[in-house]
């Protein structure tokens, strides 16, 4: 009896500890009390959890650009991000934007994200305090943008406006390249000027943050503060790992508390792209067209195949035939290997998996551990080639399509726009 | 962000000198009309863009001088050295013994390939002296041989070698009456080639600048130097630093650095770099100018209008209000006036609120100038009280652009070049369609009778090249015409 009570008490203490550890390890983590209230679906917990989900789901939210958003907009961002990650419960997605109901559903969503994968680790990595200069990661370019909202316009858009906007984008892209280049130049200067200043022999020079610390003692206080709070979050994360089991057991009771008429898992498709009425009609017409094309293709292909087979039937023998077959097979195999090679390069970018410190080493210095710039450049240029090929292919397709369209309009002269 | 200026030919070198001299004089005159801190930030920002520091402390223009004859280059170098305020760098000029004889083909096909390596090396050396290169400003005439032919060649090479840097060509449009018999050929060849390789063509018409000298500056015997000074004033009023658009008190060196790079590069790096190199945070790339005005590849022609413009004697007895200046500038824009004198006040924008067809060109007044995009730059006292609402009228712009996309304004309380208040307008509009159409027409008349074609074909050009140029420019005329 006594032993049982102490076990219950132990569990009762363990849960708040686990929740507190989780809170402390999350960015701007709420008080553990919020979690308890959310279990009972209390409305006052909802705004805090919307905010938290926004922070967790969108890395951009860290620079406070999104926290200024209206609650409705925040809710929309959270929902679309959850939807694109395949969140299975439709109850949350159906809440009206900006409502304060459903804090329990929000808690479930947060737990689902935690259970899905290394969320906590990713968040910690995002807000890591950086002392050394980092190799820029290209994640931002590869991660799918959950925000790409389609603006359905009914009225036709002037092509010149599209070209205008495209041109603007091009200029911004060029400015971005120029400012990246500027940063590289300045970084390189700092590395050169501080050569030999670092206490650690293997590094040789100071990073920007270290140089700044020397110039401005105030900033080292700030850095210290940031490091301390990061340490606290790391410790909390370790603590959470130790006792998360209790949390999950508790989450089971939260799940049980959900009203039975709400199916736990719905059969809804995970991501629901918006299809307007017009879109459905279009889809139908496209389907019809596709069927007609298939039929047409069959009609064209069958007699050809028959003719071809009858022609081939006469050949198929002799050393010449087998030689040419062999050559053909080799060509096909080579092409296939090329394709597979390029696919591999595209699909497994040998991007540095963890952050690396940028260090300039002297010419002729012995090769150190770590990633060499040459390797990264090689990988990146292989990837660039790959993307260029894909772009070229798409451009060719577009040109063919344009040529086809132009061909259907007799008397039309196609003048390509000047410029790039 | 710095700009490397490439001065080409006699005209490019003479104007280049006046531009640097104007920029330097303006940024170093102590006017007492704005705060000391403001003035220092302005000066430093101007310097970062156009000058670099040399060991003995005399600022050096970030420029490369190119001509095929030594005379003008030598004059330019010594004039700068004599000024004692700034100078050109050592080993930044390239010249030869023999000019291009006003033959575009000679500059483009003979001088260009022959001296490509030396010239591009000179430019690269200058580029390497910039911490950050924003782009190139290429000054040349359009009618002669060296500036126009070699200029087109060099611009193309710059596009190949520095594809992400911005390129703006300052082009001098010849007098309509003409100094050179084949100037219309040279002009269409220059324009069509630059349309392919440059990002923006900033055009000054000799006729217009001449009129400004005669009517506004009261100059009796107008010399090239007078023309070039007016021109340099106009360019300076565009290129000198201004505050960023959105927040008038927030100095921003390049909003792209803090805004977009953020997620890609560690934030701390940005902050520290900016802190470590505490430099004036003026908006300083001309990338913004281009992004606002010339993003569309078919519309690259920019015209500049200034107000007020007058001789120093008259200036002493004049006062201006922002409302008056902007009212005149707006009317200059919509009535295609070249200067503040002789403005046609009858021209009105088409009534807005009509159905879209009402904006079609048939319903417009024949003299109304439709804009694609405009940039207004205001400098001087009480600039923050200036109201530019008149430029935000949708009736001024083509139907497919919103005024919010088509109009922008830059301001600074720092006065420019002794004018207590001044306004400049950079406009991508139909201002230049008429002159362009005339040049193309005249060139076509000569071409159809095959006049002087052999002068060009003997240096490797083909008639096909002319035809390509005509096609491209006809298209440009048509595009601007249908705004």
Reported as a single tens digit per residue, the pLDDT across A94-128 is 777 766 778 888 888 989 998 887 888 888 887 78
Regarding predicted confidence, which is higher, B204 or A350?
B204
Kindly identify which residue of chain A lies nearest to residue B260, measuring between CA atoms.
Answer: A176
CB pairs under 8 A between A and B: 137
> Is residue B289 classed as helix, strand or coil in its secondary structure?
helix
Q: In which order are the strands placed within the sheet that holds B87-88?
A: B51-52, B60-61, B87-88
Regarding predicted confidence, which is higher, A278 or B280?
A278
Q: Do A140 and B264 touch (CB under 8 A)?
A: yes
CB A55 within 8 A of CB A74: no
CB B192 within 8 A of CB B473: yes
Whole-number Å distance between alpha carbons of B142 and B148:
5
Confidence of residue B7 (pLDDT cuts 50, 70, 90): very high
Q: Are strands B60-61 and B51-52 parallel, antiparallel or unpaired?
A: antiparallel
Q: What is the pLDDT of residues A299-355, one digit of tens each?
A: 999 988 888 888 776 666 667 777 888 889 998 888 888 777 666 655 544 444 566
Q: Is the pLDDT of residue B281 over 50?
A: no
CATH architecture of B2-239: 3-Layer(aba) Sandwich (3.40)
Q: Where are the domains of chain B?
A: 2-239, 246-281, 435-481
Q: B373: which DSSP letter? A: E
Q: Do B296 and A167 touch (CB under 8 A)?
A: yes
Answer whether the bond into residue B308 is a cis peptide, omega within 30°: yes
Whole-number Å distance between alpha carbons of A246 and A15:
6
CATH architecture of B435-481: Orthogonal Bundle (1.10)
Q: What is the pLDDT of residues B91-113, one digit of tens each?
A: 999 999 887 888 999 999 999 99
Q: What is the average pLDDT value for chain B, to the nearest integer? A: 85
Of A350-364, B35-49, B461-475, the one with minimum mean pLDDT is A350-364
What pLDDT shows up at residue A4?
53
Q: Do B290 and A63 touch (CB under 8 A)?
A: no
Whole-number Å distance between alpha carbons of A316 and A145:
54
What pLDDT shows up at residue A285?
83
Confidence of residue B4 (pLDDT cuts 50, 70, 90): very high
Chain B hits for A215, CB-CB cut-off 8 Å, are 276
Confidence of residue B126 (pLDDT cuts 50, 70, 90): very high
Return the percentage of chain B with pLDDT > 90, whole number: 58
The minimal CB distance from A167 to the residues B260, B267, B297 is found for: B297
Return the percentage of chain B with pLDDT > 70, whole number: 87
What pLDDT shows up at residue A354?
64
Q: Is the pLDDT of residue B299 over 90?
A: yes
Whole-number Å distance between alpha carbons of A349 and A334:
23
Mean pLDDT of B264-289: 39
Q: pTM of the prediction?
A: 0.74
Kindly identify which residue of chain A lies nearest to residue B191, measuring between CA atoms.
Answer: A418
The minimal CB distance from B132 to the residues A163, A174, A178 is found for: A178
Q: Is the pLDDT of residue B130 over 80?
A: yes
Q: Report angle CA B290, B292, B296 to the nearest 5 degrees.
A: 75
Q: Which long-range contacts (CB under 8 A, 24 or more apart) does B471-474 make?
A: B471/A415, B472/A418, B472/B192, B472/B195, B472/B196, B473/B188, B473/B191, B473/B192, B473/B195, B473/B436, B473/B440, B474/B440
What pLDDT shows up at residue B31?
65
What pLDDT shows up at residue B401?
92
Q: For an interface test with B, give the residue of A160, A170, A210, A215 to mutate (most B CBs within 10 A).
A: A160
What pLDDT shows up at residue A417?
54
Number of Cβ atoms within 10 Å of the Cβ of B314 = 13
Whole-number Å distance between alpha carbons of B470 and B464:
10
Q: Which residues pair with B425 in a beta bridge?
A: B305, B376
Q: Is the pLDDT of residue B256 over 70?
A: no
Q: Do A216 and B254 touch (CB under 8 A)?
A: no
Of A269-273, B166-170, B230-234, B328-332, the one with minimum mean pLDDT is A269-273
Q: What is the pLDDT of residues B439-454, one digit of tens each?
A: 999 999 999 999 899 9
Q: From the CA of B50, how many Å to the nearest CA of chain A?
A: 17
Query: From residue B11, how far is each of A117, A171, B82, B203 by CA, in Å?
Result: 67, 30, 20, 14
CB A234 within 8 A of CB A124: yes
What pLDDT shows up at residue B470?
95
What pLDDT shows up at residue B259?
27
Query: From residue B145, how far is each of B5, B11, B111, B169, B180 by CA, in Å?
Result: 19, 11, 10, 16, 10
Q: What is the ipTM of this complex?
A: 0.87
CB B273 within 8 A of CB B313: no
Q: Do B276 and A136 touch (CB under 8 A)?
A: no
Q: List average pLDDT for each run of 10 residues in chain A, which is 420 residues long.
A: 54 80 84 85 85 80 62 82 83 73 86 86 82 62 41 71 92 86 85 82 80 83 89 91 88 78 47 54 83 91 87 69 85 82 56 67 66 81 87 89 83 60
């Amino acid at each position: 009896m006594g032993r049982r009570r102490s076990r219950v008490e132990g569990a009762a203490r363990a849960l708040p500890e686990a929740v507190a550890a989780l809170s402390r390890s999350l960015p701007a983590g709420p008080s553990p009390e919020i979690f308890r209230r959310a279990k009972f679906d209390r409305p006052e917990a909802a705004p805090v959890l919307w905010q938290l989900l926004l922070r967790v789901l969108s890395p951009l939210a860290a620079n406070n650009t999104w926290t200024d958003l209206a609650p409705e907009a925040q809710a929309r961002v959270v929902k679309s991000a959850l939807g694109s990650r395949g969140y299975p419960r439709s109850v949350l997605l159906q809440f009206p934007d900006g409502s304060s109901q459903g804090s329990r559903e929000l808690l479930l969503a947060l737990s689902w994200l935690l259970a899905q994968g290394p969320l906590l680790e990713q968040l910690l990595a995002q807000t890591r305090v950086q002392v050394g200069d980092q190799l820029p990661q290209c994640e931002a370019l590869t991660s799918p943008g959950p925000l790409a909202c389609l603006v359905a316009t009914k009225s036709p858009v002037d092509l010149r406006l599209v070209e205008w906007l495209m041109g603007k984008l091009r200029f911004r892209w060029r400015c971005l390249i120029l400012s990246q280049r500027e940063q590289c130049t300045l970084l390189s200067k700092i590395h050169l000027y501080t050569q030999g200043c670092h206490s650690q022999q293997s590094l040789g020079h100071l990073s920007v943050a270290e140089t700044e610390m020397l110039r401005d003692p105030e900033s080292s206080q700030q850095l210290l503060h940031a490091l301390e709070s990061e340490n606290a979050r790391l410790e909390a994360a370790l603590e959470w790992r130790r006792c998360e089991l209790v949390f999950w057991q508790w989450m089971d009771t939260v799940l049980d508390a959900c009203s039975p008429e709400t199916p736990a898992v719905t059969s809804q498709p995970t991501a629901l792209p918006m299809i307007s009425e017009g879109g459905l009609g279009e889809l139908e017409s496209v389907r019809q067209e596709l069927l007609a094309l298939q039929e047409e293709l069959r009609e064209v292909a069958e007699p050809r195949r028959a003719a071809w087979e009858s022609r081939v039937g006469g050949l198929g023998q002799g050393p010449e035939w087998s030689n040419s077959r062999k050559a053909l097979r080799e060509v096909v195999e080579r092409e296939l290997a090329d394709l597979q090679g390029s696919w591999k390069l595209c699909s497994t970018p040998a991007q540095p998996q963890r952050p690396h410190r940028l260090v300039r080493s002297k010419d002729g210095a012995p090769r150190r551990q770590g990633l060499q710039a040459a390797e990264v450049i090689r990988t990146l240029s292989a990837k660039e080639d790959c993307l260029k090929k894909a772009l070229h292919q798409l451009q060719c397709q577009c040109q063919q399509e344009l040529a086809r369209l132009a061909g259907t309009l007799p008397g039309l002269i196609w003048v390509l726009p000047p410029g790039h | 962000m710095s700009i490397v200026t490439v001065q080409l030919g006699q005209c490019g070198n003479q104007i280049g000198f006046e531009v640097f001299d104007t920029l330097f004089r303006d940024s170093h005159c102590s006017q007492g009309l704005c705060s000391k801190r403001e003035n220092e930030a302005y000066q430093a920002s101007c310097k970062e863009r156009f000058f670099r520091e040399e060991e003995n402390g005399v600022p050096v223009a970030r420029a490369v001088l190119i001509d095929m004859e030594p005379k003008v280059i030598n004059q330019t170098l010594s004039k700068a050295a004599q000024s004692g305020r700034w100078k050109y760098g050592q080993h930044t000029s390239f010249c030869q013994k023999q000019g291009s004889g006003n033959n575009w083909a000679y500059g483009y096909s003979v001088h260009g390939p022959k001296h490509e390596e030396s010239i591009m090396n000179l430019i690269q050396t200058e580029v390497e002296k910039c911490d950050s290169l924003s782009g190139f400003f290429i000054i040349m005439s359009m009618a002669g041989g060296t500036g126009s032919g070699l200029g087109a060649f060099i611009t193309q090479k710059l596009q190949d070698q520095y594809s992400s840097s911005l390129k703006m060509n300052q082009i001098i449009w010849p007098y309509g009456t003409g100094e050179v018999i084949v100037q219309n050929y040279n002009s269409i060849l220059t324009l069509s080639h630059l349309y392919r390789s440059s990002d923006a063509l900033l055009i000054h018409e000799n006729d217009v600048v001449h009129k400004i000298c005669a009517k506004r500056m009261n100059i009796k015997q107008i010399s090239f130097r007078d023309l070039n000074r007016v021109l340099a004033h106009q360019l300076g009023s565009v290129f000198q630093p201004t505050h960023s658009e959105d927040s008038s008190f927030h100095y921003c060196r390049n909003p792209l650095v803090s805004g977009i790079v953020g997620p890609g590069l560690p934030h701390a790096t940005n902050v520290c770099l900016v802190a470590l190199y505490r430099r004036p945070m003026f908006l300083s790339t001309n990338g913004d100018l281009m992004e606002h005005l010339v993003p569309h590849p078919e519309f690259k022609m920019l015209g500049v209008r200034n107000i007020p413009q007058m001789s120093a004697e008259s200036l002493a007895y004049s006062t201006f209000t922002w409302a008056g200046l902007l009212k005149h500038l707006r009317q200059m824009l919509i009535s295609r006036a070249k200067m503040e004198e002789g403005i046609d006040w009858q021209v009105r924008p088409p009534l807005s609120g009509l159905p879209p067809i009402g904006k079609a060109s048939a319903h417009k007044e024949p003299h109304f100038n439709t804009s694609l995009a405009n940039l207004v730059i205001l400098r001087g006292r009480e600039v923050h009280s200036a109201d530019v609402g008149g430029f935000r009228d949708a009736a001024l712009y083509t139907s497919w652009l919103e005024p919010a996309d088509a109009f922008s304004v830059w301001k600074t309380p720092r006065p420019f070049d002794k004018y207590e208040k001044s306004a400049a307008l950079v406009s991508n509009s139909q201002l230049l369609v008429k002159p362009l159409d005339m040049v193309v027409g005249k060139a076509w008349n000569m071409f159809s009778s095959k006049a002087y074609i052999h002068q060009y074909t003997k240096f490797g050009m083909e008639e096909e090249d002319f035809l390509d140029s005509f096609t491209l420019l006809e298209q440009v005329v048509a595009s601007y015409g249908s705004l």
